[in-house]
Structure 1
C-alpha cells in the first residue's frame, strides 16, 4: 500500500481511505480510494443538502373525480 494521504477532489481537504471491491478475472480485489468528504461546505459532502427543499405537493385528484357521470 502507498502511504499517500487521500484528499477530496472538490475541496482538497484530507479524507479517510476506504476499501471497495472490484471483480477481476473472477476474484474480488480490494481497491483503496478516497472516502466521503466531511466538509459540510464541499460540493461532494454526502450529508443533507444545504438548500431547503420544497415540501411535497398534495397529489392531484384523478381526472374523472370532477366530471359528472353521463
Structure 2
C-alpha cells in the first residue's frame, strides 16, 4: 500500500502531501498525493522555470475564458 511519506520520483527527496480530488459515482472524493518537488538540484523541481521563452498572451490564460452571452 501507500507509505505515509511521498517522495519525488526523480530525485527521491521527500515532498509534501497535497489533496487532489476526482469524481466517483457523482461525488468528489479526496485523494492524497505527493506534491511538487522543491529540491533546487532536481530536474523535476517546481521552482525551476521550464520554458522561459514561452509567454502567454494577456487574456489567453486558463481562467480567462469568454464570459458568453449577457442579458
Which bracket does the TM-score occupy, shorter chain normalised? 0.5 to 0.7
User: Residue 45 of structure 1 aligns to a residue in which SS?
Assistant: coil
What TM-score do you get using the length of structure 1 for normalisation?
Answer: 0.62
State the Cα distance separating 1:48 from its structure 2 match: 3.1
Gapped regions of structure 2 (runs ≥ 5): 56-71
Q: Distance in 1 between matches of 2:19 and 2:49?
A: 26
Look up the match of 1:37: 37
1:10-31 deviations in Å (ceiling 9; x for gaps)? 1000011000010111000001
Larger Rg computed on CA atoms: 1
User: What's the RMSD between the two structures over aligned residues?
Assistant: 2.5
Q: Distance in 2 between matches of 1:3 and 1:46?
A: 22
What TM-score do you get using the length of structure 2 for normalisation?
Answer: 0.62
Q: Distance in 1 between matches of 2:47 and 2:10?
A: 15
State the Cα distance separating 1:3 from its structure 2 match: 5.7
Corresponding pairs, count: 53
Gapped regions of structure 1 (runs ≥ 5): 57-70
Look up the match of 2:20: 20
